[in-house]
Structure 1
Amino acid sequence: MAAHRIIFANEKGGSGKSTSAVHTAIALAVKGHRVTALDLDTRQRTFGRYLDNRVDYMKRAGATLPMPAYGTFNPADGFTIHERLDNLAAEADFLIVDTPGRDDDYVRAAIETADTLVTPINDSFVDLDLIGQVDPDNYKIKRPSFYAELVWDARKARAKSDGGTVDWVVLRNRLQHLEARNMRRVAAALSELSKRVGFRVIPGLSERVIYRELFPKGLTLLDLAAIGEDAGLAHVAARGELRELIAGLELPEQAGAPKQTQAA
């Protein structure tokens, strides 16, 4: 069975895209699925460096943690983006792809192969503008933006190539813990836009210091028990957010779940 491809993409940086992608990859590996991953950001490599840190931590600590096989796409290696994606997909139940915060041909090619496209956005009108322009007086959606058109084109290309569909999920990251008028307005605008351009909206990860603290060791919220760290209330709440995120993606349960792959 071909891997279910989950592409994390957003042309605007700072949306928590790589953090969400890493936690999704590890959450699926924890469940026993074979997971492969590809970082398309050849220069910054936030996703790849996160997993590099994880490998280094396991070596230092003598620990074994759930781990996807992963790599970074480099056109100079001689493989096309489709060859790289197909090779990784052939070895896994799930393929996770993290993309750079820009538009290029490789990102578009990856999106066109997506089974699930995840677009993390911060809970603000600044990020919402990526997918829909809002009227400044009544906060209603005036028109879809360029990114929504890009996804529309990708969906058409996918349908034409193999008849498949792309489930587009907008992930609301950095949600505030307290209800606010602006938060309600963003939610209303997203709901309206979702009906017009066809995406689902699910809650993502809050703004928590814990996510930044885990990066240097390559750890996730799911590793704390394995490494013997006590979980505080913030950790427990954050794990609940992650469980809700994974459930919201509505991913298929892959049969078999063979033993996990190792970093490559």
Structure 2
Amino acid sequence: MAHIVVVGNEKGGSGKSTTSMHVATALARMGHSVGALDLDLRQRSFGRYIENRQAYCDREVLKLPMPEYLPLPRIEPEDVPEGQNIYDLRLDAAVTALEDRHDFLIIDCPGSHTRLSQVAHSLADTLITPLNDSFVDFDLLARHDPETGKITGPSIYSEMVWNSRQLRAQAGLKPIDWIVLRNRMGSQVMHNKKKVGVALTDLSKRIGFRVAPGFSERVVFRELFPRGLTLLDLRDVGVTSLSISNIAARQEVRDLINELNLPKVKVDF
């Protein structure tokens, strides 16, 4: 059965789809079989990313490592048994179609609370929560006192993750390994950055997640999307001289894969 990696939070613009694509591509490049689902039925950024990749490979006659992307199957309302949820059935059908064919299944969730996202979190063996490195996004995880910096209570999202953990425990499944990524961290050491770091470290001990550095703000991430490429593909598409920024970004991807500590994964890129 596939190891399920869910990338989720309830705010947009935190880098979920970029994270999903780079994790999926990195695993595929290391020889692992990877399935992919995008639960954002409106934006479909992760799904579009993979479709762009296939179109680019077809156009340039290239063969790049690629996850198998499967859109959620349609189910007609009249085919839904009484008392069951149509979104549960659609997700279950998609996971069933992929999980026995792949080593890993990457699921990208929407930046809002939906039934699909809620169910996906309960399926996660590994949960990655990217957030921009600010107290605006910290509020996704917990409420805090701006004067004292103390945590005053969990957020609705953290409570959802807790409920997902409880459901897994009741089903006899292993606990979720939860990693919070600090994306778009500034290169300068700033007072607010330090305060966010201290607050995350404190919160991680209270509600049980690991903190990891994510991706810096780089133009290259946005530039690669239309062709469906990642930083790991640049040399394969003819970029022989990488800029300092590209080399640093590639190292960020390597560090992320190492930090995830996924089963039977040894970073070799």
Q: Is it true that 1:233 corresponds to 2:232 in the alignment? A: no
Question: How far 1:254 sits from its partner (Å)?
Answer: 6.2
User: 1:142 is matched by which residue type in structure 2?
Assistant: T
Q: Residue 155 of structure 1 contacts residue 166 of structure 1 at CA under 8 Å; is this kept in 2? A: yes
Identity between Structure 1 and Structure 2 (%)? 49
Q: What does residue 144 of structure 1 align with?
A: 154
Q: Which residue of 2 aligns with 1:63?
A: 62
Structure 2: distance between partners of 1:163 and 1:236: 39
Root mean square deviation, CA, Å: 1.4
Range with greater deviation from structure 2 (67-76 or 120-129): 67-76
**Match for residue 246 of structure 1 among 257, 260, 269:** 257
**What residue ranges of structure 2 are gaps of 5+ in the alignment?**
80-88
TM-score, length-normalised on structure 2?
A: 0.91
TM-score w.r.t. length of structure 1: 0.93
How far did 1:83 drift? 2.5
- Counterpart-to-counterpart distance in 1, 2:39 and 2:172: 23
Report the counterpart of residue 3 of structure 2 in structure 1: 4
Q: Aligned partners of 2:249 and 2:26: how far apart in 1? A: 13
* Cα distance change, pair 75–159 in 1 and its aligned pair in 2 (3 A): farther
Is contact 2:49-2:228 (8 Å) kept?
yes
Separation in structure 1 between the aligned mates of residue 189 and residue 206 of structure 2, nearest angstrom: 26
Q: C-alpha deviations, 1:135-157, integer Å up to 9, x for none?
A: 11022222111111110000000
The farther-off stretch of 66-75 and 30-39 is: 66-75
SS in 1 for 2:263: coil
The letter of the residue matching 1:34 is: S
Give unmatched runs, 5+ long, in structure 1: 256-264
Cα–Cα, structure 1 residues 75 and 189, in superposed 2: closer, same or farther, change >3 Å? Answer: farther
What is aligned with 1:38?
Answer: 37
Q: Is the deviation greater in 183-192 or in 68-77?
A: 68-77
Alignment length, in residue pairs?
A: 254
- Cα deviation, residue 75, structure 1: 4.7
- Deviating above 6 A after TM superposition, structure 1's stretches of 4 or more consecutive aligned residues are none
Question: How much does 1:76 deviate?
Answer: 3.5
Measured in 1, the distance between the counterparts of 2:71 and 2:185 equals 30
The aligned counterpart of 1:186 is 196
The 10-residue stretch of structure 1 (137-146 or 33-42) with the greater mean CA deviation from structure 2: 137-146
- Note if 1:112 corresponds to 2:115: no
Quote how far apart the aligned CAs of 1:8 are.
Answer: 0.4
Compared with structure 1, are the counterparts of its residues 234 and 254 closer, same or farther at alpha carbon in structure 2 (3 Å cutoff)? closer
Three-state SS of the structure 1 residue aligned to 2:237 is coil
Task: State the Cα deviation string for residues 238-260 of structure 1 (Å, max 9, x = none).
Answer: 000110011111111169xxxxx
Corresponding position of 1:82: 92
